[in-house]
Amino acid sequence: MKILVTGAVGFIGSHTAERLSDLGHEVIGVDNYSPYYSVALKQLNAQALKQKNITIIDTDLREANLSSRLPNDIDYIFHFAAQPGISSTSTFEDYFSNNILATKNLIDYALALPALKLFVNIGTSSIYGLEATYPEEKAPKPASHYGVTKLAAEQLVLQKSREKQLKACSLRLYSVIGPRERPEKMYTKLIANGLNDEAFPLFEGSDKHLRSFTYVGDIVDGVVSVIGKEAVVNGEIINLGTEVEHTTQEGIETVERVLGRSIKIELMPKRPGDQLRTKANIDKARELLGYTPQTTLLEAVEKQVAWYKENLL
């Protein structure tokens, strides 16, 4: 199969592109190398993909007429590209253009593909809101610009499924961690701060937040499992993540255990829109995809620390 992966040099997109290549597919990656975080880190990911003979096209999905820049013989699309997370440096316009407009342009491109079997939108547990412990049928209540615009993007994709213009599904991911995690994310910052004897910025009250910290390899297991199941997943929203919950404090202690040292903490004001609890309800993923994440938090952190030491020290 010939598969297009957007956001291919990012965290989860790069792991998915690699897995698809290992499974024998021809993978075309798309990325605009956004400076949201270090382009040097993205180039490091790109080098790993090129070693797998994965082609990467440098283009911006916010620009119209993607058919003139992307292949017209794609079988599957995995759409990871987005303005991620909750950040005070990101404007609503950033979220709107990267999450809604870019998705609309990609849909227009997809509708012109004669052989497309499935459009896989990558959603987020942030769509549910401050509490993300629900089955997929729960009415979403996003509490951030990120969650609102990812919900809109998801519905743009599923609209075309409902109109029977293409087969599509959306996978809502939960608190993904592991090698290549973005530098502003919790575990990368904890590892960096711990190794450099710097203080980790902890938002007030967040030490008690509960998370389904899910290893990226377990997420990719679920993502790629939709291939060949387009009749089953068409029109569906499916949660992917672990059912095991850990507090942020337990996450900090796990990194300290792996590093063998304590991490200094700098208490910061509470962050608006931050989720209080995520616990992946994966009954549907288990039924439709046979999805069963296996990696423990300790194992995930060990893998991430090893990658960090090998690549970023």
Q: Would you list the DSSP string of 43-108?
A: HHHHHHHHTTT-EEEE--TTSS-GGGTS-S--SEEEE-----S--TT--HHHHIIIIIIHHHHHHH
> Can you tell me the mean pLDDT for 112-122?
98
Whether pLDDT at 86 is above 80: no
Rounded-to-integer distance, Cα 201 and Cα 179, Å: 21
pLDDT tens-digit map of 226-266: 999 999 999 999 999 999 999 999 999 999 999 999 999 98
Specify whether 187 is catalytic. Answer: no
Residue 88 has a pLDDT of 66
3 state SS for 190-220: HHHHHHCCCCEEEECCHHHCEECCEEHHHHH
> Can you tell me the mean pLDDT for 194-208?
89
Q: What is the pTM of this model?
A: 0.94
> Can you tell me the mean pLDDT for 277-300?
96
User: Sorting pLDDT into bands at 50, 70 and 90, what band is 209?
Assistant: confident
pLDDT tens-digit map of 40-75: 999 999 999 999 999 999 999 999 999 999 999 999
> Can you tell me the mean pLDDT for 21-32?
98
- Write down all domains in the chain, each with its CATH number in brackets: 2-177+214-241+276-293 (3.40.50.720)
Rounded-to-integer distance, Cα 203 and Cα 46, Å: 32
User: Sorting pLDDT into bands at 50, 70 and 90, what band is 87?
Assistant: low
pLDDT tens-digit map of 147-189: 999 999 999 999 999 999 999 999 999 999 999 999 989 999 9
Catalytic residue among 109, 146, 174, 215: 146
Mean model confidence pLDDT for the chain: 95
Burial 210-247 (b: 16+ CB within 10 A, else e): bbbbbbbbbbbbbbbbbbeebeebbebbbbbbbbebbb
Supply angle C-alpha 221, 45, 107, rounded to 5: 65
Longest dimension (CA), the chain: 56
User: Sorting pLDDT into bands at 50, 70 and 90, what band is 270?
Assistant: confident
Proportion of the chain above pLDDT 90, given as a percent: 87
Question: Which residue type, as a one-letter code, is found at position 148?
Answer: V
Residue 273 has a pLDDT of 66
